[in-house]
Structure 1
Amino acid sequence: MVYCLWRKKRSQSQYEELLSSVPAVPACSPPLILVSQGLWTTPDEIPFALPPRFMTQNQADVKKKEDKEGEELKMEVRRSILDHRGSLSVSRWYPVGTVLAGLYSVPLNEVVAPPPGMATRLCFSVEYRHGSEQLMVSLLRLGNLPPRFHGNVTLVELRLLPDDRRPRQAKARGTGPDPEFNDCFVFQVSRVCVPQGTLSVCVLSVEQDGKRHAVGRVLFALEGELGNAGRVLWRDLETEDQTQCSELGDVQISLSYSPALQRLSVVVLRARGLQLLTDAGVCVQVSLQIHTQVVKIKRSCVAKGFNPNFNHRMTFKLRSQHVDEACLRFELQEPNNVCSEPPVLLGVLVLGPFMYARGQQLQHWMDMVNTPQEAIKLWHGLGRAT
């Protein structure tokens, strides 16, 4: 019995000595985390444990008296657990396990370094949170920017197609060949619609006088890509020269709108990859439509060749209150050899707001509205008449 009492008194004195090393923390102070000076594990493991919950001095005294008997009984079990897991040996720390330091030994610069090659690449990550139905897009940096853009300000416009009508902008924090962004954007989208969405990222270079140049764009389809949440992704920017022609051909259109003059300016620049039947040439018919009513119809000059150049400018009167209700319909027509016969329809293109267009056609119209009095030039694929 004398030995048991002596051992009990010794364990109690050790327990009180460990508690006395913890400073009394006032109630208004933020919580602190104890850090021991010893080395508990091997260098390739980092101990991970839940910190104690600190209390004021009065609360600690009351709690110590209530838990003294229970702590004495659990002391031996706790010592065995600490020895087994290799975690902190400070009293009231609850060991959870260890973190492998080798997983985090690679520097961040090596993770986001651009892959080898000369193409301009965009570094970003995408994560969808099902609980809040939010799509998190982290824009990290650009790589291998062309030399002519090194001294300019780099802007990035993000949209979630087909429904997003307002672009999100990010400005690079520096210049040079690899400008960095480190911005995060949140898109509120339901879990039913997110697999059908496409993330559109347009990279622009802005000169000192405010003139913009399109560097390229990335169209990232979300279907099948949300399983790798948070993974760093690299995608090459698509330029106009790299864009493949559609089945019926493409047409390049420039749009600009002046709210002060209430004037919509359209320039039909050129076409490529047309499926011509004869060498009679091709013309473009442009119709301004508000709801189901055709307001005005204009035609361009006739140009010949499979890649004709038009450079034909047209202007339409359009009030500001009708901008979200109007659309432009482009019809590429090949004149018929027989004058009495109607021209052959080669392809159709519709540019307008959400009720008329989707994807790149909608984005072109919204860029025109958001940047008044500035010409927005873009290629579009032709579709079949419905």
Structure 2
Amino acid sequence: SSDQALLLSVGLSVALLVLLLLSFILCYLRRRKRKGQNQYQELPSTIPSLPSLSSAPVILVSQGSWATLVPIPSTSPPKRPQKSILSMFSSGWYPVGTVLAGLYSIPLPLNEVVAPPPGMSTRLCFSVEYRYSSEQLLVSLLRLGNLPPRFHGNVTLVELRLLPDDRRPRQAKARGTGPDPEFNDSFVFQVSGRCASRSTLSVCVLSVQQDGKRRAVGRVLFPLQGELGQAGRVLWRDLETEEDTQCSELGDMLISLSYSSSLQRLSVVVLRARGLQLLTDAGVYVQVSLQVHAEVVKVKVSCVVKAESDPYFNHRMTFKLRPQHLDEACLRFELQQQSDVCSGQKPPTPLGVLVLGPFMYAKGPQLQHWMDMINTTQEPIRLWHRLNRVT
């Protein structure tokens, strides 16, 4: 009986100990739960009331000509704004202003926003922007206006270069045909601000026929000096074409150039001249000199033709020139009139001079012609050039 009493007392002690332990655990859990409810109770909102969005200032983020301003509706914001266009400052939330819809939606048709100026000349529409932070020149090519009827059914291509150093042209293809083909393409030139201000943007417009042959429509030469600070402007420039009848003071000369790197051969064709200021009835001819640095390597003379204001030569000549000398060589064309037979053996009279070559010797159309010859292997490139006075 003494053993039974001992076992009973031990069992009661263990049961009491378990009950105390369970009571302690329940009390601990209740206290932890109450503490969590006090810690995460909802705080009162500290968001100040928003001013009217209709009176918010407009912040312009672009100067594009086809971007339109669309105001944000002045509706009351919710307790916790989620979709409102707001800006957060240290004191709360405030509205930014309006949205430039042109940045987030499809732009309006170009016919409505960049209509060409009046006139019948062929014009190019583009814009130029220089980003000083990244040293990038962004050229946006938009459209052509008043393309001549003979080119309406052809594919229109445009080649862009940054003269004088850019040899690799950027090319764009028009999206459609007709008198006003559209492009809507952008090109980036990586160039320092110093070099960009001294460069010229060259845009050459080509018409591709059904047989694949290309014909030059015209070109635009746009000097960038003084234009880099006018970002976002839509510019219209007339194309310089071969059909321009306006002659320079001394006249013009039509020259064709082609180069074959495999044959190391420079081919020159003196085609014709126009608007010459002749002094006598003696015949005229063209003397062509190939010069490398300051040394005259070869001199050739065209045929002598009758003294006319618009003479035709159609004389072809070739020169040996290595590819490594293309950046060091130039061609000098000197139009001369023979001395009068009755006046004795007098030297010929110079009527005008023209130099074609890289940027060391030429600029403008004369430089562009040389660069086109280098980049268009074995294909003749012809262009009108004005004559200058012989110095």
Q: Which residue of 2 aligns with 1:359?
A: 364
Deviates more, 1:337-346 or 1:122-131: 337-346
Contact 1:288 1:294 in 2 (8 A): yes
Contact 1:87 1:97 in 2 (8 A): no
Q: Which residue of 2 aligns with 1:49?
A: none
Q: Which residue of 1 aligns with 2:51?
A: 81
TM-score, structure 2 normalization: 0.72
Q: Distance in 1 between matches of 2:317 and 2:132?
A: 47
Deviates more, 1:287-296 or 1:92-101: 92-101
Deviates more, 1:371-380 or 1:153-162: 153-162
Number of aligned pairs? 318
Deviation readout 1:267-315 (Å, 9 max, x if unpaired): 1011122232222132100112223332221111222112221111112
Deviates more, 1:294-303 or 1:103-112: 103-112
Q: Which residue of 1 aligns with 2:233?
A: 231
Contact 1:327 1:351 in 2 (8 A): yes
Amino acid at match of 1:248: L
Identical pairs, percent: 70
Q: Which residue of 2 aligns with 1:12?
A: none
Q: Which residue of 1 aligns with 2:387?
A: 382
**Residue 107 (1) aligns with residue 119 (2):** no
Q: Which residue of 1 aligns with 2:30?
A: none
Q: Which residue of 2 aligns with 1:350?
A: 355
Amino acid at match of 1:107: L
Q: Distance in 2 between matches of 1:252 and 1:223?
A: 29
Shift of 1:120: 2.1
What is the RMSD of the two structures over their aligned residues, measured on CA atoms?
3.0
In structure 2, runs of 5+ residues without a counterpart are 1-38, 57-73, 87-93
Deviates more, 1:168-177 or 1:281-290: 168-177
Q: Which residue of 1 aligns with 2:335?
A: 332
Q: Which residue of 2 aligns with 1:373?
A: 378
Contact 2:199 2:223 in 1 (8 A): yes
> 1:118-129 counterparts in 2 under 5 A?
118-129=120-131
SS in 1 for 2:183: strand
**Residues 1:196 and 1:261: Cα distance change in structure 2 (over 3 Å):** closer
Q: Distance in 1 between matches of 2:374 and 2:141?
A: 25
**Residue 98 (1) aligns with residue 97 (2):** yes
TM-score, structure 1 normalization: 0.73
Q: Which residue of 1 aligns with 2:265?
A: 263
Deviation readout 1:138-160 (Å, 9 max, x if unpaired): 00112222222122221111122
Q: Which residue of 2 aligns with 1:46?
A: none
Contact 1:82 1:89 in 2 (8 A): no
Q: Distance in 2 between matches of 1:170 and 1:351?
A: 27
Amino acid at match of 2:214: R
Deviates more, 1:83-92 or 1:177-186: 83-92
Q: Which residue of 1 aligns with 2:320?
A: 317
**Residues 1:148 and 1:325: Cα distance change in structure 2 (over 3 Å):** same
Q: Distance in 2 between matches of 1:323 and 1:101?
A: 49
**Residues 1:189 and 1:102: Cα distance change in structure 2 (over 3 Å):** closer
In structure 1, runs of 5+ residues without a counterpart are 1-64
Deviation readout 1:158-211 (Å, 9 max, x if unpaired): 122334333222122322222221111122333334344332211110112221
Q: Which residue of 2 aligns with 1:140?
A: 142
Q: Distance in 1 between matches of 2:249 and 2:117?
A: 32
Amino acid at match of 1:134: Q
Shift of 1:119: 2.6
Larger radius of gyration: 2
SS in 2 for 1:368: helix
SS in 1 for 2:193: coil
Deviates more, 1:89-98 or 1:257-266: 89-98
Contact 2:221 2:364 in 1 (8 A): no
> 1:1-386 counterparts in 2 under 5 A?
72=45, 74-75=46-47, 78-81=48-51, 86=74, 89-90=77-78, 91-92=80-81, 94=86, 95-99=94-98, 107-109=108-110, 110-242=112-244, 244-303=246-305, 304-337=307-340, 338-386=343-391
Amino acid at match of 2:317: M
Shift of 1:107: 3.4
Deviation readout 1:336-368 (Å, 9 max, x if unpaired): 234432212222211122332222112111111
Q: Distance in 1 between matches of 2:371 and 2:354?
A: 16
